Amino acid sequence: MTTVITYSHLFDNHNTQGHPENAERLHAMIKTLESSPLKKHIKIIEPEILPEEKLKTVHSSEMINLIKEMSSREEKESWIDPDTYVCRSDYNTARLAAGGLLQLCEDVINDKITNGYALIRPPGHHATRLRSMGFCLFNNAAIAAHHITTKNKRVLIIDHDVHHGNGTQDIFYDRDDVMYQSFHLSPHYPGTGDYNEIGVEEGEGFTINTPLPHGAGDKAITELLEQILLPTAKAFKPDITIISAGYDSHHLDPLGGLKLTANMYGEIIKRYQRIQPRIVCTLEGGYNLEWVGKCLLSQLGELASKPVNIKDTADEEINIEPLISKIKKKLKDYWPM
């Protein structure tokens, strides 16, 4: 079966000059895909808008109503905080993004499609239960994951954005039907994601954070995957995996600090496919317009079983064995290490 992308030009409505999270991101990615041989193995569909009642399963009414009210103002854009803007009609645009991801997850879990990629904006992983923040309005991954759990399914979320997905962690921190795994730069925005943050109550042990120092790259990620992330994911036995695909962990990203190459993103897909082939990616960060499309191709190539090799290298001199030892010690009572 063909790998499916959900995408709409309506995401261009969420845009403001000078902000790194702007409409040119998707333009660059679509342009790269259009010029790639992979295009013939990809089907692009229009997303379906998310009903408001689905938002309420994850976010508070106050948070939802704030976005709705700001979206109806006469001003072209309003600001929730210095990082996060809301444009006219963004209530609909953000629901279109969330609906597109949920649609793909629903089709994958029902075996209508093999896998998919939600090429959507605005991103979502910083949005908590109560607050939009960090370029994010609603938490796309969390909305889709919660919906899938209502079908008595277990969901794995792996987040490879350079920034910790504090919102996704917040939403599932006390639950055992969703495992949240993240590697991210630390210290870095938003300041969360310490390895000691492992969940509470029923969710204790189901949040796995691997905070990385500046300069960590492919070698460090490979070690984390082999020693911590993949073994815990395998033991969790997910029915579907959602990947919060942030490409600002690439070594040339202007908002980054990690040193992943474009090929590492495809490698992540390949390794998680061995645990659960039902995978849906959703776009989070990534702000180097020359590279976001290549990072996308790396992951689409693995999803479509047509691997793509990108010419890309990065120097890395980081020893993360001490970090791995600390994380293993923290998690040894919950998962086989």
Residues tagged active-site = 126
- DSSP state, residue 318: -
Q: How far apart are alpha carbons 67 and 305 in whole angstroms?
A: 39
Q: How far apart are alpha carbons 282 and 105 in whole angstroms?
A: 10
β-sheet bridge partners, residue 4: 43, 116
* Residue with the two structure tokens 């793909």: 104
Q: How far apart are alpha carbons 169 and 192 in whole angstroms?
A: 9
Q: How far apart are alpha carbons 8 and 215 in whole angstroms?
A: 35
Taking the CA atoms of 219, 225, 226 and 227 in sequence, report the sign of the dihedral they define: positive
The DSSP element (H or E) to which 65 belongs, if any, is: helix 61-71
Q: Please, what is the end-to-end C-alpha distance for the chain in angstroms?
A: 35
β-sheet bridge partners, residue 116: 4, 280
